[in-house]
Amino acid sequence: MTQKIGLFLIFVFGVACLLSGLFINRINAKEEYFFEEGEKAVFSEYLGYVLWKNLSCYSYYDFNKVLKTLVALENGKLQSDACQKDSSVLIKLLEKAETERSKHNLSEAETFLSNLRGKSSIKALKKGKVLYEIVKEGTGLPICDTDFVYVHFRELDIYQNIFRDTTQTSAPVKLKLSEAIPGLRVATRGMLVGEKRKIYIHPDYGYGSIGKNEPNQLSIFEIEIVSQ
């Protein structure tokens, strides 16, 4: 008797699996026949990369929960517009994440600067919130920040990842340093033509809590005055 009940339950479970596979929650399920199997595999891999590109913008998620949600959406157990109904919840969560990220970045920036301050090669400005070191001495005339100068610069983050690098182009960039963020302006004062400095800027004298790439980011610049 127990065996018969067991077999019956397996049969029901099998039918349920089969039926759930039929309810694919897509806009145009018929289009899956446009591709042959091999082509479908390649395209599916591509979609995986696209989804990953979105996911990798965040690091505070449960991957298993993401997969479960995808399976439920695919099987029609969840509707795709359910997310929009809970938008106020999403906004609160995103705000919390941004606030935490901002606090973390500020703390990291302050620790980084504090560790640097003791070094003999480091000069401090703005109560230690702007630091610089001379990487290469200059021999030319001192620059005036309201005049145009030709520079090469690299902009880095706290992990030394490079965001921008003008040395990749052949020509130096013509600009006025007085139009830059306050930390950069103050740390390049008195630079000589030919001089190169590495400058570390607290967000209070950089891009602030809005940030450029990250809120409350520490800004690091390597800047060389090529000519004026």
Partner 1 sequence: MKKILLFLISVFCFACGESEEKKNDVSYALSQINEEDKKVLEELFRSLFIQGPFSYTLLDKKPMGTIDYSFNFAFNVTPSKFHTRNALIAYKGMKVWEKYKHLFPSKNFYFFVYSHQQANDYVFGFTLLSKPKVLEIIKKNISFFKDFANHSSETPEQVLEMLCANKFYKFDTEKDEKYHKTLGLLLGYSKESVEAFCRIQVLSQILTGLPYDTSLLVNRERYLDIIKNTKKLDKELLNNSPHGNINKSAIEEFDYLLNHMKFVKTTSDPNPLFPIIYPGYMSLENDQDTEKMKVSYDEIKQKLVDIYSSENFLEVVLSLLTS
**Residues lying near partner 1 in the complex (CB under 8 A):** 54, 57-58, 81, 83-84, 87, 90-91, 94-95, 98, 146, 148, 153, 164, 166, 173-182, 184, 207-215
Instruction: In angstroms, give the least distance from the CB of 103 to partner 1.
Output: 13
Q: Give the CA-trace dihedral at 12, 17, 22, 25, to 10 degrees.
A: 130
Nearer to partner 1, 44 or 80 (CB): 80
Instruction: In angstroms, give the least distance from the CB of 78 to partner 1.
Output: 15
Instruction: In angstroms, give the least distance from the CB of 197 to partner 1.
Output: 14
List, in sequence order, every residue forming a beta bridge with 222; answer none if it has no partner. 154, 198
Nearer to partner 1, 39 or 86 (CB): 86
Nearer to partner 1, 7 or 89 (CB): 89
Instruction: In angstroms, give the least distance from the CB of 149 to partner 1.
Output: 11
Query: What are the residues whose beta carbons fall under 8 Å from the beta carbon of 215, sequence distance 6 or more?
Result: 98, 101, 102, 105, 209
Nearer to partner 1, 20 or 185 (CB): 185
Establish how many alpha carbons lie within 13 A of residue 217's alpha carbon, considering only the half-sphere containing its beta carbon: 18
Nearer to partner 1, 117 or 164 (CB): 164
Instruction: In angstroms, give the least distance from the CB of 79 to partner 1.
Output: 13
Amino acid at 168: Q
Q: Are strands 162-165 and 173-176 parallel, antiparallel or unpaired?
A: unpaired
Cα dihedral 106, 111, 112, 116 sign? positive
